Amino acid sequence: MPFSDTEVTKLILEFTTSIAKIDTTVNHIQTKLDEHKEAVQGIHTLSSSVNILANTIQDITHRTQSDIESLQESIKSFGKRIGNIENEPATKWKSAVALITSVILTAVAMAIINNLT
């Protein structure tokens, strides 16, 4: 059964319309794929930036921890130096009291010896 010219023309129009719809759908899908590709590239860029930021924060944290430890050691050292400075007058005072006591005892002993002779 051969097709008439009208039927062939009708089929050609239907196929052309279908092909146009398919072409439109393919173009729409390609546009969406391009948009998704751009979004993925943006996510990749953000991911790299976050990685750099995390490394920077880790480096700053490490340096800050080192600085804190150094400050703690300095504070301990200052504490010891302040303790030594505070104890120094007491040590000098104890030496002075011992010296005065020695002088007094010597004077008393001399007086006793002079009175006995």
Higher-confidence residue of 85 and 97: namely 97
Determine, yes or no, domain membership for 114: no
Determine, yes or no, domain membership for 47: yes
Determine, yes or no, domain membership for 117: no
From 106, 85, 103, 84, select the one nearest 95 (Cα to Cα). Answer: 103
Higher-confidence residue of 89 and 44: namely 44
* Structural domain count of the chain: 1
pTM exceeds 0.85: no
Determine, yes or no, domain membership for 84: yes
Q: In terms of residue numbers, what domain contains 68?
A: 1-88
Determine, yes or no, domain membership for 46: yes
Determine, yes or no, domain membership for 112: no
Is the model's pLDDT at 88 over the cut of 80? no
- Contact between 11 and 3 under an 8 Å Cβ cutoff? The reply is yes
pLDDT for 12-71, tens place per residue?
999 999 999 999 999 999 999 999 999 999 999 999 999 999 999 998 888 888 888 888
Name the strand (E) or helix (H) holding 69.
helix 5-116
Determine, yes or no, domain membership for 111: no
